[in-house]
Amino acid sequence: MLNFLLRSVLLGLATAAVLLISVPSLRSHIIPAGTAETSNNIESLQISFNTAVRRAAPAVVNIYSRKYTESDRTKLSTQGLGSGVIVSDKGYIITNYHVVAQADQIIVALQDGRAAAAHLVGKDRRTDIAILRVEGTNLPVIPLNPNYDPKVGDVVLAIGNPYNLGQTTTFGIISATGRSSISADGRQAFIQTDAAINEGNSGGALVNTRGELVGINTASFQQATELETYGISFAIPFKLANKIMEKIIADGRVIRGYIGIDGQDISAMAERILGNEHLGGIEVMGVDPNGPAADAGFMEKDIILKIDGQKIHGRQSVMDLVTDLRPGTTIDVLVVRKGKQKTLTVTVGEDPRD
């Protein structure tokens, strides 16, 4: 029986071979044309972000924070290490507040070998942003795209000077946006990425595949346990960092508007009950008794719908709008109180927490 099966298999293979030799057109159905060429093309494919790195990397600088020694006030020693990003041909550099917070002298080293003492223009502890300035000609400036909107899944590169090893680039994606739970006051929205950000990377650049600045690398997630955490790092969005820089350049510090309320987004259930016109509103949960909102007559349970005629879209949009206002500005706020709409006029103060 076994011999019969073997003879049948061999006869079938021999018949197939004769057919392929005698009828060449059959071969194309078994071996697609261009297979060898396609194979060569696949082997030649190369995914590289070299162009993006070459565009961005020259503008990412090493920052050395120096401090006077306690034993000899005439001597400086390097106490901190970080990175920064040149964002203007006028020599403005964005870095992290914590990189330069305790510095008596700040040294900036460019990738072309130049080094110089930097002037601290200003710093903002709340957003962990500091602005430096260096003098120089032909300074490299990182590509900027104010219209770029970071999205989950975008490929990003983190460029900095980890552990003073020298400029290093790591690779990953944006894994989340709007991460506010790790900020000190729960108000700052970070970009989360799995690109490695280590000590020394702070203040460096997070860029997209075109080499455009996406954010300022600021922290990696650390648990208060013995477990190590990988792939969770955070960056300050460029739009926020740029806004802070403009405020610091204009005033030497960040001046934030303040009205003195605390609120929360109204629930989906409340929106359905109250109607679509309440979509995006926030419910006032607390009023600073000494703040402008109290003077204007705000009360707990008020639902804020519009500010100066502009419809709001949740708690974050209210904070962004109010903090951008100059103290002394008068605004009209449309609220709903016990089912009736009411307009309250409030004069914006300066945030006392800065």
List 65, 83, 124, 128, catalytic entry: 128
Strand partners, 122: 131
Is 278 an annotated catalytic residue?
no
Measure the CA–CA gap between 29 and 163, rounded to whole angstroms. 58
119 is catalytic: no
Residues contacting 174, CB < 8 A, separation 6+: 150, 151, 152, 153, 154, 156, 191, 192, 193, 214
Which pair of tokens denotes residue 21?
């030799």
Helix (H, G, I), strand (E, B) or coil at 22: helix
**Cβ-Cβ contacts under 8 Å for 140 (sequence gap 6 or more):** 58, 59, 86, 110, 111, 112
Q: Which residue has the tokens 């990377």?
A: 201
Type of residue numbered 20: L
> Are the C-beta atoms of residues 203 and 84 closer than 8 Å to each other?
yes
Catalytic-role residue among 65, 83, 98, 154: 98
Q: Is 107 strand, coil or helix?
A: strand
What distance in Å separates the CA atoms of residue 256 and residue 351, rounded to the nearest whole number? 6
Distance CA 342, CA 349 (A): 21
- The DSSP bridge partners found for residue 61 are 84
48 carries an active-site annotation: no
Catalytic-labelled residue, pool 65, 83, 175, 202: 202
Nearest-angstrom CA–CA distance, 157 and 153: 13
- Contact present, 132 and 119 (Cβ < 8 Å): yes
Which residues are annotated as catalytic?
98, 128, 202
